[in-house]
């Protein structure tokens, strides 16, 4: 009988989990006869088995629920939301009894009379009236255990109702759409312990395989090569097969969420739609168990904190029904889970106030933080911006638990939020925790393993003029990588393995570019060996205080090496690139533009007088420290042979006298495609992130105005003027216009960085995106502007296609639009006007652009 009872509990838990989703589906489509039949069949099966096993209490509740479902199926009783709530309450009662039966081996005592009476009343056609007290009493006898303490038995295959899109079934064959029967999938129940033991043995086999491969490579024994290759192939197939037995669809962790969202909506008086994508994405059972609780926390937070009530959404111009989206997909050997909502977003001001009230930081430190860094305070233990503690949230627990649990399994979590638009969390977790692919590196004479889940790319640094160079700003190593300054960490110095002094620009090695949340940084190592599949072993207790390590492993030669944890390295050093990566910025361009009022990365330097100077860091391609011997004069110009070409140099002081031989000259290099120029300055001071508010127009040529940066009055240079001094008439002087909201669509990062500060200084509130598709997504999100300026020559959707789409329909139909081109000839201008632009001009004529902006906006105002 014990075996029968165990099988019954397993099947019943599967059926009850499936019934939750099926009932919610029936509530949305009351006429879905197939779903109703499946629900009735499942409840009938539970009732019949209860009677056979002598489980009287379970049988009575199931029988009462079956009676109501029978009336629904016959059509003599209409399916209503109140009726679905009653059936769900009956399922909760069944789950409670099953939980008690599972923990004690016998049915727990309890009074089901109120529930059965309500079900019988519904069967007679009376309105369901199950009170809250009766529902509460139902759970007092045997509360459902927490998933982390006593997880439900793992299903051998997903039930038909839990995932209706699948064609396989695990019960009796059901007719196919064409009328023929579908053969049931063949399954067998295996204890989880057996799979765990099998996985351990396979892990040891992988280690032994690696050791044998190492020995054969060292001895070059041809006799062993062929059989060892065969053994390696079989080991890999066996490992893959065992891994498949542990893999389960992530939809299994989502089964309870539709019910949770429904109950949450009723409790909070909100309308919530849950959209789940990628439910068939598979990951390791162990990882699946560990993310169930974090997902539940985050969905509840989205429903409570994120989404507004219907009245607030209508006032904000949103539909009454708020949306919570779950999405899972594979990416580079790991799983990405997105949890997003279209609600109110995170209020930076509220977070600042709460941070200061709790004493988590000072006002001075808070003023120097980026918006993203401030938003990450929500992951602090005990932190909550809720105005009051409710039964749902507000106690300050949840997000810190989420972050802790995700990092325990080697994952990362980041967020993107825009106030008034919504919040999206991105969880990045490994497929499995047992055997992972890792990069073997060396630093300070010691080898380490870096999990590939944390490796974005590998860059060779130093040793080549054309290659990436390691530079230093205030003794901090940095490297310029695709128009961004990447902070670096020397692994040998971090672990105190090597104390050799190194000079700026002389470092060589490899840089492992890694991403932790929204931060991107590089780890400097001496050598890179190969990628290996390693078996993860836990860190010894004596080393658990060293946060840079996540475990250890045994290599093929028998040596034990430590596994590096990029999360721990980021925490230990505090490094990270400010702002998201280019890819994240593009994906989120619809919600946050490169606006002139946003915080901007600035390069501070000195030149001439004692007033510090500033330039947007995005404009500076490279920082060079050139020997004065390499600087030459020709035709009245100062030149340097730079990367195979002659690059003009412009001294900030207006003149340049060659110093003594052996000295070096600091140069800011600006380039766009095949053009480059160098601005000669005295010294590089710092890189900071500040809000670039330019106050007043400067009378001195070459400067936009002044701004307070790091508490000091700082001159902001006009890059356009200095580029003109190098001989290329790219842009001209600035002029004054009235403030308006301006959307700039430009695929060249150089021109975006160049235009935004100048237009911002001229009084425009600028939002910049890098494609026509991003601009249209902004329109879909409800963003409004006064004028659109777009390059007409872009990949994918160009400016002409954008103009035609804008003029076709939507709220932007009547907006004035100005076309830009590197060379605006008659044919291009005619095509631009035909597509819907009001004017067209070349990028090099900034006076014409400002004049055209004024004319178009004036005409729009008069109209």
- Unique residue bearing structure tokens 């939507």: 810
Beta bridge partners of 835: none
β pairing state of 741-745 and 455-461? unpaired
Predicted confidence at residue 790, as pLDDT, reads 93
Give the burial string for 583-606 (b: 16+ CB within 10 Å, else e).
Answer: ebbebbbbbbbbbbebbbbbbbbb
Q: Categorize the per-residue pLDDT at 431 as very low, low, confident or very high, splitting at 50, 70 and 90.
A: low
| CA–CA distance, 581 with 516 (Å, rounded to integer) | 11
User: For 776, what's the count of Cα atoms within 13 Å in the CB-facing half-sphere?
Assistant: 17
Instruction: Look at residues 224, 199, 218 and name the one whose alpha carbon lies nearest to residue 556.
Output: 218
Stretch 746-764: mean pLDDT: 76
Q: Categorize the per-residue pLDDT at 804 as very low, low, confident or very high, splitting at 50, 70 and 90.
A: very high
For 698-718, the pLDDT digits (tens) are: 667 788 778 888 778 888 888
| CA–CA distance, 817 with 839 (Å, rounded to integer) | 7
Q: Annotate 621-678 with three-state secondary structure.
A: CEEEEEEHHHEEEECCEEEEEECCEEEEEEECCCCCCCCCCCCEEEEEEEEECCEEEE
Q: Lowest mean pLDDT: which of 592-601, 701-710, 728-737?
A: 728-737
Q: Decide: helix, strand or coil at residue 179.
A: coil
Q: What is the gyration radius of the CA atoms in the chain, in angstroms?
A: 33
Stretch 729-739: mean pLDDT: 43
Predicted confidence at residue 716, as pLDDT, reads 85
For 112-156, the pLDDT digits (tens) are: 888 888 888 888 877 654 444 444 444 443 334 333 333 333 333
Residue 576 structure tokens: 């990270």
Give the orientation angle of helix 56-74 with respect to helix 33-53, to 10 degrees.
Answer: 160
Are 799 and 825 in contact by the 8 Å Cβ rule? The answer is no
* Statement: residue 607 has pLDDT above 60: yes
Percent of the chain at pLDDT exceeding 90:
4
Stretch 593-616: mean pLDDT: 71
Predicted confidence at residue 501, as pLDDT, reads 47
Q: Lowest mean pLDDT: which of 16-30, 421-435, 463-477, 617-631?
A: 463-477
- Unique residue bearing structure tokens 């490899």: 510
Stretch 312-340: mean pLDDT: 84
Q: Lowest mean pLDDT: which of 582-591, 771-780, 805-814?
A: 582-591
For 466-525, the pLDDT digits (tens) are: 556 777 665 667 777 765 667 888 888 888 886 554 443 445 678 888 877 657 788 888
Q: Categorize the per-residue pLDDT at 844 as very low, low, confident or very high, splitting at 50, 70 and 90.
A: low
Classify 160 in phi/psi space as left (phi over 0), alpha (psi -120 to 50) or beta: alpha
Stretch 346-356: mean pLDDT: 85
* Statement: residue 850 has pLDDT above 90: no
Are 394 and 386 in contact by the 8 Å Cβ rule? The answer is yes
- Unique residue bearing structure tokens 């539940």: 296
Are 91 and 13 in contact by the 8 Å Cβ rule? The answer is no
For 63-75, the pLDDT digits (tens) are: 888 888 888 888 8
Beta bridge partners of 766: 742
User: What is the dihedral sign for C-alpha 475, 479, 484, 487?
Assistant: negative
| CA–CA distance, 561 with 582 (Å, rounded to integer) | 34
Q: Decide: helix, strand or coil at residue 476.
A: strand
Predicted confidence at residue 705, as pLDDT, reads 79
All domains of the chain, ordered by start, with CATH? Answer: 2-140 (1.20.120.160), 192-246 (1.10.287), 254-430 (3.30.565.10), 435-464+483-569 (2.30.30.40), 599-725 (2.40.50.180), 741-862 (3.40.50.2300)
Q: Which residue has the higher pLDDT, 537 or 684?
A: 684
Instruction: Look at residues 206, 556, 226, 267 and name the one whose alpha carbon lies nearest to residue 391.
Output: 267
* Statement: residue 759 has pLDDT above 90: no
Predicted confidence at residue 641, as pLDDT, reads 83
H/E run at residue 461: strand 455-461
Predicted confidence at residue 483, as pLDDT, reads 55
Predicted confidence at residue 803, as pLDDT, reads 92
H/E run at residue 216: helix 192-219
| CA–CA distance, 485 with 471 (Å, rounded to integer) | 10
Instruction: Look at residues 571, 544, 561, 421 and name the one whose alpha carbon lies nearest to residue 489.
Output: 571
- Where do runs of H (alpha helix) occur along 269-347? 285-301, 310-315
Instruction: Look at residues 656, 801, 669 and name the one whose alpha carbon lies nearest to residue 723.
Output: 669
Predicted confidence at residue 351, as pLDDT, reads 86
Residue 827 structure tokens: 């044919």
Beta bridge partners of 744: 768, 789
Q: Categorize the per-residue pLDDT at 761 as very low, low, confident or very high, splitting at 50, 70 and 90.
A: low
* Statement: residue 589 has pLDDT above 60: no
Q: Which residue has the higher pLDDT, 68 or 431?
A: 68
For 640-649, the pLDDT digits (tens) are: 887 767 888 8
664 phi and psi angles, rounded to 5 deg: -125, 155
Predicted confidence at residue 806, as pLDDT, reads 92
Question: How many CB atoms lie under 10 A from the CB of residue 387?
Answer: 8
Residue 106 structure tokens: 């016998």
Predicted confidence at residue 317, as pLDDT, reads 87
For 355-386, the pLDDT digits (tens) are: 888 777 777 777 767 777 788 888 876 666 55
Instruction: Look at residues 189, 266, 286, 732 and name the one whose alpha carbon lies nearest to residue 536.
Output: 286
Beta bridge partners of 705: 716
Residue 196 structure tokens: 């765990």
Predicted confidence at residue 104, as pLDDT, reads 81
Q: Lowest mean pLDDT: which of 170-184, 543-557, 707-721?
A: 170-184
- Where do runs of H (alpha helix) occur along 409-503? 491-494
Burial of 841 (0-12, 13-18, 19+ CB in 10 A): buried
Mean pLDDT of the chain: 75
User: Which residues contact residue 842 at a Cβ distance below 8 angstroms, ignoring those fewer than 6 apart?
Assistant: 820, 821, 822, 823, 824, 848
Give the burial string for 712-741 (b: 16+ CB within 10 Å, else e).
Answer: eebbbbbbbbbbbebeeebbbebeebeebe
Predicted confidence at residue 541, as pLDDT, reads 66
Q: Lowest mean pLDDT: which of 41-55, 162-176, 508-522?
A: 162-176
For 227-257, the pLDDT digits (tens) are: 888 888 888 888 778 877 777 888 888 888 8
- Unique residue bearing structure tokens 């008690």: 100
Percent of the chain at pLDDT exceeding 70:
77
| CA–CA distance, 434 with 245 (Å, rounded to integer) | 13
* Statement: residue 789 has pLDDT above 90: yes
List the end-to-end C-alpha distance of the chain, in Å, as a whole number: 86
564 phi and psi angles, rounded to 5 deg: -75, 145
Q: Which residue has the higher pLDDT, 695 or 718?
A: 718
Q: Lowest mean pLDDT: which of 298-307, 326-335, 423-432?
A: 326-335
User: What is the dihedral sign for C-alpha 26, 31, 32, 37?
Assistant: positive
User: Which residues contact residue 837 at a Cβ distance below 8 angstroms, ignoring those fewer than 6 apart?
Assistant: 790, 792, 799, 803, 817, 818, 819
Are 563 and 545 in contact by the 8 Å Cβ rule? The answer is no
């Amino acid at each position: 009988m014990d075996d029968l009872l165990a099988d019954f509990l397993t099947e019943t838990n599967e059926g009850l989990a499936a019934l939750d989703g099926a009932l919610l589906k029936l509530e949305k489509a009351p006429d879905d006869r197939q779903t109703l039949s499946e629900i009735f069949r499942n409840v009938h099966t539970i009732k019949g088995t209860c009677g056979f096993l002598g489980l009287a209490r379970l049988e009575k509740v199931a029988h009462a629920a079956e009676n109501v479902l029978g009336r629904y199926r016959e059509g003599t009783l209409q399916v209503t939301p109140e009726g679905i709530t009653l059936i769900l309450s009956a399922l909760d009662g069944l789950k409670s009894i099953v939980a008690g039966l599972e923990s004690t081996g016998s049915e727990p005592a309890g009074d089901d009379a109120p529930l059965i009476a309500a079900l019988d009343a519904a069967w007679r056609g009376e309105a369901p009236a199950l009170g809250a007290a009766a529902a509460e009493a139902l759970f007092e006898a045997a509360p459902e255990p927490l998933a982390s303490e006593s997880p439900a038995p793992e299903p051998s295959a997903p039930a038909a109702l839990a995932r209706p899109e699948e064609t396989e079934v695990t019960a009796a064959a059901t007719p196919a759409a064409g009328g023929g029967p579908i053969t049931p999938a063949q399954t067998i129940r295996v204890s989880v312990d057996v799979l765990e033991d099998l996985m351990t043995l396979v892990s040891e086999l992988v280690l032994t395989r690696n050791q044998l491969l190492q020995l054969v490579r060292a001895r070059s024994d041809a006799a062993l090569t062929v059989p060892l290759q065969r053994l390696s192939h079989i080991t890999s197939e066996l490992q893959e097969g065992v891994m498949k037995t542990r893999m389960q669809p992530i939809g299994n962790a989502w089964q309870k969420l539709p019910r949770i969202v429904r109950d949450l909506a009723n409790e909070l008086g909100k309308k919530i739609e849950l959209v789940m994508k990628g439910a068939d994405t598979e990951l390791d059972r162990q990882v699946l168990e560990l993310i169930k609780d974090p997902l539940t926390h985050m969905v509840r937070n989205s429903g409570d904190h994120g989404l507004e009530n219907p009245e607030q959404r209508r006032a904000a111009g949103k539909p009454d029904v708020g949306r919570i989206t779950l999405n899972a997909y594979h990416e580079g050997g790991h799983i990405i889970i997105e949890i997003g909502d279209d609600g109110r977003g995170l209020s930076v001001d509220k977070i600042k106030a709460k941070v200061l009230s709790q004493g988590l930081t000072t006002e001075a430190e808070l003023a120097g933080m980026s918006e993203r860094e401030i938003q990450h305070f929500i992951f602090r233990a005990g932190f909550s911006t809720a105005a009051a503690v409710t039964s749902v949230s507000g106690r300050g627990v949840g997000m810190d638990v989420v972050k802790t649990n995700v990092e325990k399994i080697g994952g990362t979590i980041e967020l993107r939020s825009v106030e008034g638009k919504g919040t999206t969390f991105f969880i990045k977790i490994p497929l499995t925790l047992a055997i992972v692919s890792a990069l073997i590196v060396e630093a300070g004479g010691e080898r380490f393993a870096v999990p590939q889940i944390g490796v974005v790319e590998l860059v060779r640094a130093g040793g080549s003029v054309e290659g990436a160079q390691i530079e230093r700003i205030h003794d901090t190593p940095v490297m310029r990588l695709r128009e961004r300054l990447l902070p670096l960490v020397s692994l040998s110095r971090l672990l105190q393995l090597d104390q050799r002094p190194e000079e700026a620009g002389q470092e060589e090695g490899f840089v492992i570019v890694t991403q932790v949340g929204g931060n991107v940084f590089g780890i400097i190592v001496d050598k890179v060996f190969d990628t290996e599949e390693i078996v993860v072993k836990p860190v010894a207790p004596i080393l658990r205080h060293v946060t840079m390590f996540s475990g250890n492993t045994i290599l093929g030669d028998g040596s034990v090496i430590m596994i590096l944890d990029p999360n721990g390295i980021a925490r230990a050093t505090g490094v990270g690139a400010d702002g998201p990566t280019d890819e994240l910025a593009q994906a989120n361009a619809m919600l946050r533009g490169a606006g002139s009022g946003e915080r901007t990365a600035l390069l501070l330097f000195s030149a001439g007088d004692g007033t510090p100077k500033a330039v947007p860091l995005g404009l500076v391609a490279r920082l060079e420290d050139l020997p004065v011997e390499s600087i030459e004069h020709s035709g009245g110009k100062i030149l340097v042979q730079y990367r195979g070409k002659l690059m003009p140099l412009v001294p900030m002081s207006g003149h340049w006298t060659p110093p003594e031989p052996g000295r070096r000259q600091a140069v800011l290099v600006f380039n766009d495609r095949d053009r480059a120029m160098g601005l000669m300055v005295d010294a590089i001071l710092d890189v900071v992130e500040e809000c670039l508010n330019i106050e007043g127009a400067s009378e001195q040529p070459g400067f936009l105005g002044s701004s307070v940066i790091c508490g000091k009055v700082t001159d902001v240079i006009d890059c356009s003027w200095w580029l003109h001094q190098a001989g290329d008439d790219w842009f001209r002087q600035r002029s004054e216009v009235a403030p308006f909201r301006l959307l700039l669509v430009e695929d060249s990062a150089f021109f975006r960085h160049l235009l935004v500060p100048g237009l911002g200084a001229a009084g425009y509130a600028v939002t910049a995106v890098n494609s026509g598709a991003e601009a249209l997504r902004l329109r879909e999100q409800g963003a409004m502007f006064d004028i659109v300026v777009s390059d007409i020559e872009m990949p994918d959707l160009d400016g002409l296609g954008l103009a035609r789409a804008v003029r076709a329909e939507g709220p932007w139909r009547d907006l004035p639009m100005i076309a830009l081109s590197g060379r605006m000839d008659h044919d291009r201008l005619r095509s631009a006007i035909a597509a819907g632009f009001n004017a067209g001009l070349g990028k090099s004529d900034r006076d014409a652009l400002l004049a055209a902006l004024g004319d178009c906006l004036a005409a729009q105002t008069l109209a």
